[in-house]
A and B are shown apart, each in its own frame.
Chain A
Amino acid sequence: MLSSGIGVLFQGNNFLRLLQGLMVSLRIALLSMLLSAVFGLFLGIAMNSKKGWVRAVCRTYLETVRVMPQLVLLFLVYFGAAKHLGMNFSGELSAVIVFTFWGAAEMGDLVRSAFLSIPAHQYEAGCALGMTKMQVFFYIMIPQAVRRLLPPTINLLTRMIKTTSLVVLIGVVEVVKVGKQIIDASRFTEPSAAFWVYGAIFLLYFAVCYPFSRAAALLERKLRDGN
């Protein structure tokens, strides 16, 4: 009974369908991450602004996003926006909007601390050499900040990938949903399918996230040893 359940995974093109489902999750995660990185960079620079009110606005935004579970944000956009803005977002678009909204805040905080961690004399030395503010920013601050940013950004990406599993709850057909379909289709022929399919999804997520986590850990160690 049990051993036959595993066969469901490889029946027909079931496994291929699971992988296609995973691609949907990954597409949402990567797209959101890309947008988050762009917005987050600007946000992070704004967070270090000299103007108090700019910092306050950014801070409020960050704290608001952090305090809300991502699922609640998804519900707000998916159900709320449809009613108020009269716009009917698809589940996938809602997901990208929410994850970008959330990711940009998290990314902004990472960028902020990365810039803060660059010693002030780097900036001052640049200015003393007669570089303009722009030159100091692009040739001195950004290269160093990016190096420091890489490990936490990769970690954020894995969090993003893990969080995309929530989109099944607003009706996006991704890997978990495909898994459910496969289980339902074989409910009477292979009752143990649920065990194997969910087990496979569990391992698929692991297979996607683990390399990123390892890479982030290695980069982090390299960075620490380098300094």
Chain B
Amino acid sequence: MDIEFIRESIPLYAEAAVLTLRLALLGILGSGAIGFICCLLRTFRVPVLKQAAEVYIELSRNTPLLVQLFFLYFGLPRIGVVLSSEVCAVVGLSFLGGSYMAEAFRSGMEAVPVSQGEAGLSLGMSRHQVFFYILLPQAAATSIPVFGANIIFLIKETSVFSAVALADLVFVAKDFIGMTYRTDEALLLLVIFYLILILPVSAVCALIERRVRYAQFGNRSIVSGE
């Protein structure tokens, strides 16, 4: 182990970590937006668009991010759509994450008893009001653990960004291995930086999950509809 080398290369890794984090954040926001739109389309049973959402979800869930990125980055320019690496990465991550978020919304929606929506309607609320004031808050609360798991999953998936020429953590590590042959130091820093990125998120998720479980405790009759 060469401490001096490690100290010198930390700034480069930090820069890469910031890039990873920025793209992951944008991708996660994009995923959330796509997931929410899919949820809206499914709940309101919008014709045609709902089927399109189903097709999208199946396509996105059953293909790897790496192949999606290659298609976006190397394939699309051939038909005239040129995207920069960063845009590719964010679009790809959103494309992948959108379906996972949509499924999270769906499982939350399914957990809300039908009687809740019917009660809202019989009180004279409009369908939009029922959705936003009754279904969505309850569904979101049940889905929070799944959202957390998806966020961690998406941050981990960013590790393939180096394949579309982005200088992320894996890229930097590979560069160091190639240039200096200091495999140990490069890999150690790679592991440490991913831990720094993911452990806090994972801890926060665990905390929130416990909170949500408290909220449901004693409230089971509402959640399970018994």
Chain A interface (Cβ < 8 Å from any Cβ of B): 2, 5, 66-72, 75-76, 79-80, 83-84, 158, 162-166, 168-169, 176, 179, 183, 191-199, 201-202, 205-206, 209-210, 213
Determine, out of B5-13, B64-72, B114-122, the stretch whose residues face the partner at the interface.
B64-72
The segment from B43-51, B124-132, B187-195 that touches chain A is B187-195
Across-interface contacts of A166 in B (CB, < 8 A) = 64, 66, 160
Q: Does B177 contact A (CB under 8 A)?
A: yes
B163 within 8 A of A: yes
A202 near B68 (CB under 8 angstroms)?
Answer: yes
Q: From the candidates A75, A83, A176, name the one contacting B173 in the complex (CB within 8 A).
A: A75
Q: A169–B64 Cα gap in the complex (Å)?
A: 14
| Segment at the interface with A among B28-36, B74-82, B207-215 | B74-82
Q: B78 is contacted by which of A66, A192, A202, A213 (Cβ under 8 Å)?
A: A192
Asked whether B83 is an interface residue with its Cβ less than 8 Å from the other chain, the reply is: no
- Which chain A residue shows the least CB distance to B59? A206
Q: Which of B74, B162, B187 contacts A80 (CB 8 A)?
A: B187
Chain A minimum-CB-distance residue to B156? A69
For residue A171, give the distance in angstroms from its CB to the closest CB of chain B: 12
Chain A residue with Cβ nearest B170: A71
Docked Cα-Cα span, A192 to B78, in Å, equals: 5
The 22 listed contacts between A and B (C-beta, < 8 Å) are A67-B194, A67-B202, A68-B191, A69-B156, A72-B159, A75-B174, A79-B177, A83-B184, A162-B62, A165-B64, A168-B66, A169-B162, A194-B75, A194-B78, A195-B75, A196-B75, A198-B67, A199-B71, A201-B67, A202-B67, A209-B63, A213-B62
A76 touches B75 (CB 8 A): no
B161: nearest chain-A partner, CB-CB: A71
5 more A-B residue pairs beyond the given contacts A69-B156, A210-B62, with a C-beta to C-beta distance below 8 A:
A71-B160, A195-B78, A202-B68, A202-B71, A209-B62
A195-B76 contact in complex given A75-B170, A80-B184, C-beta closer than 8 Å: yes
Q: In angstroms, how far is the closest chain B Cβ from the Cβ of A214?
A: 9
Q: Is the CB of B191 within 8 A of A162?
A: no
The answer on a CB contact under 8 Å between B190 and A75 is: yes
Q: Which of B66, B71, B158, B190 has the most CB of A within 10 A?
A: B66
Contact B157 A191 (CB under 8 A): no
Q: Give Cα A67 to B193, complex, Å.
A: 11
The 7 closest A-B pairs by CB, nearest first: A209-B62, A69-B159, A165-B64, A198-B75, A162-B64, A195-B78, A69-B156
Measured between beta carbons, the chain B residues less than 8 angstroms from A176 are: 66-67, 70
Q: Given contacts A169-B160, A213-B61, are A72 and B78 in contact (CB under 8 A)?
A: no
* Residues of chain B lying within 8 A (CB to CB) of residue A194: 74-75, 77-78
Residues of A within 8 A of B177 (CB): 79
Given contacts A79-B177, A168-B66, A210-B62, contact A2 B79 (CB under 8 A): yes
Supposing A72-B194, A79-B187 touch, asked if A169 and B67 sit within 8 A by C-beta, the answer is: no
Centre residue among B75, B173, B177 by max chain A CB count within 10 A? B75
Contact of B66 with A192 in the complex, beta carbons under 8 Å: no
Q: How far is the CA of A107 from the CA of B77 in the complex (A)?
A: 40
Within 8 Å of chain A (Cβ to Cβ): is B84?
no
A66: min CB distance to chain B, Å: 8
Please pick, from B62, B173, B194, the residue contacting A205 in the complex, using a CB distance under 8 A: B62
Q: Is the beta-carbon distance between A67 and B195 smaller than 8 angstroms?
A: yes
Please tell me which one of the listed residues A68, A80, A191 contacts residue B194 in the complex, with CB atoms under 8 A apart.
A68
